[in-house]
Amino acid sequence: MLKSALLNAVEAQRENVVQHRRHLHLHPEPSFGESKTSAYVANALRAMGIAFSDGWCADHGAAGIVAKVEGLEPGTRTMALRADMDALPIQEVNRPHASTVPGWMHACGHDAHTACLLGAVEALQAARDQWTGTVHCVFQPGEENLPGGASILVQEGALLTDAPTSGPLQASGPLVDGIVGQHVYPQLDAGTVGFRSGAYMAAADELRIRVVGKGGHAALPHRTVDPIVAAAHVITALQTVVSRSCDPTQPSVLTIGKIRGGHARNVIPDEVILDGTLRTYDLATAETLRSSIKRVAESTAQAFGAVAEVDLAIGYPPVINAPRLTDSCRKRAVELLGEQHVVDLPLRMTGEDFSFYQREVEGCFYRLGTGGNGPGCRSGLHTAEFDIDERALSTGTAMMAWLAATEV
Ligand SMILES: [Zn+2]
Ligand SMILES: [Zn+2]
């Protein structure tokens, strides 16, 4: 029986997956610089005798991998599984298994995603006479930074059914039937997974505002145009963008997360840089807010004699989970884990480049509970304390293999 064959295979290599994850955790790499991670994945696939192609995203200095696992009647159906591989510029707290790379850390759990996908490849291979079709396993670079590794992989043809052994194609042809991705989630206990059908995660634009004035002596402000005061008013005025320009029924967020300006207590600087993010779900709302931000920032700075230069980089589209595939994956999750270990999730304003795959084919992006009682196992993603309850790795491995083998 497929389920028990996969579960046995997952159990047999439980320690392997833990070791994969620990190795990757020790050696985090930046977005589009995952060369050692990619070489590690390639070696593991070679050891399993799995066909794959590398060199994806090479024009961006990265090394994505697409592997192919074949069951009975290869090609009759093709599901894709995705894991991201990049880490973040965060100094991890001191503890066993902490990152060995100063200032870099797998604080978003992409090490766990990669380890689980390697485990799923092995489980699918071990049970290959019990399922039909082909599974594409996408090891993706650069999730955390624009333009998003997923957007490049899509352009290069990673979703084409003939992609895995031929490498970047940049051609057209039949696409995979669907794609499934998972993401660690400390708010859910290890052993549990969460789903949301339809809109799930927001579109994320990157915002930079340069407020330019004229610097000088702090005691002679009348001879300057103070960009600090102008920037403070710009930030305050921007708080009205969402509250006054946006349809209140449309979820959206505007946050300025970084201010840079000045270097001394008694000097008025020439400029202040504000960095922020705009999160939306709806394209028309996004466009309204983008033009509001520009108008409010420029005119507020002007009121103080300064100039605001607004630069908005359009980011990832929203994650919209295909209802048919997602409902079906949720049912499969219940079959695998039991009703009590499958929950429904609320909408969130974080973003994910998995959305680029979902614009091409049906996609389901679900959450893997990694919460536990160990240190850091309840800390948020992108924090220096973040850690996972490693028991989640078996759940993540089994889920990916099970969904790939059963879903179309
Ligand atoms: Zn992240
Ligand atoms: Zn992430």
Spell 276-303 as b/e; 16+ CB within 10 A means b. bbbbbbbeebbebbbebbbebbbebbee
Question: What tens digit of pLDDT does each residue of 118-139 get?
Answer: 999 999 999 999 999 999 999 9
Q: Which helix (H) or strand (E) holds 299?
A: helix 283-303
Exactly one of 84, 122, 143, 389 is catalytic; name it. 143
Angle at 50 between CA 49 and CA 56, to 5 degrees: 135
Give yes or no for a contact between 211 and 254, defined as CB atoms under 8 angstroms apart. no
pTM score: 0.91
Place of tokens 């020439």: 270
pLDDT higher than 70, residue 388: yes
Q: Is 336 left (phi over 0), alpha (psi -120 to 50) or beta?
A: alpha
Mean pLDDT score of the chain, rounded to an integer?
Answer: 96
Say whether 143 is catalytic: yes
Q: CA separation (Å) from 30 to 27, 37, 247?
A: 10, 10, 37
Ligand nearest to the CA of 114: 2
C-alpha of residue 301 to centroid of ligand 1, in Å: 33
Exactly one of 34, 84, 86, 144 is catalytic; name it. 86
Ligand nearest to the CA of 181: 2
Give yes or no for a contact between 41 and 118, defined as CB atoms under 8 angstroms apart. yes
Question: What tens digit of pLDDT does each residue of 275-311 get?
Answer: 999 999 998 999 999 999 999 999 999 999 999 999 9
Q: CA separation (Å) from 111 to 76, 85, 108, 114, 147?
A: 31, 6, 8, 5, 21
| DSSP secondary structure letters along 248-261 | TTS-EEEEEEEEEE
C-alpha of residue 388 to centroid of ligand 1, in Å: 14
Which amino acid belongs to residue 217? H
Q: CA separation (Å) from 24 to 81, 84, 147, 278, 382?
A: 19, 12, 23, 31, 17
CA distance 348 to 210: 29
Question: What tens digit of pLDDT does each residue of 342-368 get?
Answer: 999 999 999 999 999 999 999 999 999
C-alpha of residue 88 to centroid of ligand 1, in Å: 8
C-alpha of residue 12 to centroid of ligand 2, in Å: 28
**Over residues 172-196, mean pLDDT:** 97
C-alpha of residue 322 to centroid of ligand 2, in Å: 20
CA distance 291 to 116: 42
Ligand nearest to the CA of 111: 2
CA distance 319 to 159: 17
Instruction: Write down the pLDDT at residue 408.
Output: 58
Instruction: Write down the pLDDT at residue 172.
Output: 86
C-alpha of residue 355 to centroid of ligand 1, in Å: 14
Supply the DSSP symbol for 27. S
Q: How far apart are the first and last CA of the chain?
A: 19
Instruction: Write down the pLDDT at residue 272.
Output: 98
User: What band does 207 get if pLDDT is binned at 50, 70 and 90?
Assistant: very high
Question: What tens digit of pLDDT does each residue of 139-173 get?
Answer: 999 999 999 999 999 999 999 998 888 888 878 89
C-alpha of residue 71 to centroid of ligand 1, in Å: 33
Ligand nearest to the CA of 185: 2
Say whether 282 is catalytic: no
Tell me the domains of the chain and their CATH numbers: 2-201+319-406 (3.40.630.10), 203-316 (3.30.70.360)
Supply the DSSP symbol for 175. B
